[in-house]
Amino acid sequence: MSNKIILASSNQNKLREFKEILEPLGYEIISQRDAGIDIDPEETGTTFAENSAIKAKAVYEVAKCAVIADDSGLEVDYLNGEPGVYSARYGGTRDDKVHNKIVLQKLEGVPDEKRSARFVAAISYIDDDGRLSQFIGKFEGRIGYEERGKNGFGYDPIFMVGGISSAEMTPEEKNAVSHRGKALRELAGYLSSTKN
């Protein structure tokens, strides 16, 4: 069993988070770009789990080695779960600033108690033999009233946990409580238990 795992993404922020949690366990995480794989499968799933499996399988078909993929996003209760699986392309764009502006505008005048939201991450792991395992993590909070903080990406600046935004947390604080951190720790536990 190889200790190299390809991340089915070239997103540097995601790559950093995966490395921070999995590399101390002895795994080398490389992006699909660094592995020389240039594919961008269409995410046609209706759930984060379906989309992460689509990405993992597409890269596994090319690489035939261990692959990890995640699909994650924001669910805002007041907006009936939007942006959901469309988080990365909300409003027809991939611009984080625009996404945050749309959410804040849609929640204008909505009181605190109705601004509940969560980040959800679904991680798909395919081992060297092609077996798929999935891990789900959730991070509960609420939507703030303005962008705050510089540490995060995506919706982090508007996602409030207690008195601070996700983008005001240190990477260590965020990894300890975030949706991706939770799902990654579940994956890490699984990898540790199956390591020979």
Catalytic residues: 71
Per-residue confidence (pLDDT) for residue 20, from 0 to 100: 85
Residue 150 CA, distance from chain mean position: 18
Cα 60 to Cα 54: distance, rounded to the nearest angstrom: 10
φ, ψ dihedrals at 195, nearest 5°: -70, 130
Where in the chain are the domains?
4-194
Per-residue confidence (pLDDT) for residue 172, from 0 to 100: 84
CB 69 within 8 A of CB 55: yes
Q: Which helix (H) or strand (E) holds 4?
A: strand 4-7
Angle at 147 between CA 155 and CA 137, to 5 degrees: 25
Mean pLDDT across 122-127: 97
Closest CA to 126 of 12, 28, 29, 5: 5
pLDDT per residue as tens digits for the range 131-176? 999 999 999 999 999 999 998 889 999 999 999 999 999 988 888 8
Average confidence score pLDDT of the chain: 93
Give 122: exposed, middle or buried? Use CB within 10 Å, 0-12, 13-18, 19+: buried
Distances (CA, A) of 156 to 115, 159, 176: 15, 5, 15
Name 114's Cβ contacts closer than 8 Å, sequence gap at least 6. Answer: 77, 78
Q: Would you say residue 194 has pLDDT above 90?
A: no
pLDDT per residue as tens digits for the range 11-49? 888 898 899 889 988 999 999 999 999 998 999 999 999
Per-residue confidence (pLDDT) for residue 1, from 0 to 100: 47
Mean pLDDT across 112-128: 97
Beta strands in 18-166 (DSSP E): 28-31, 67-76, 116-126, 132-143, 159-161, 164-165
Local confidence band at 2 (pLDDT 50, 70, 90 cut-offs) = low
Mean pLDDT across 81-104: 93
4-194 CATH: 3.90.950.10
Q: Which helix (H) or strand (E) holds 114?
A: none
Mean pLDDT across 44-63: 96
Per-residue confidence (pLDDT) for residue 33, from 0 to 100: 94
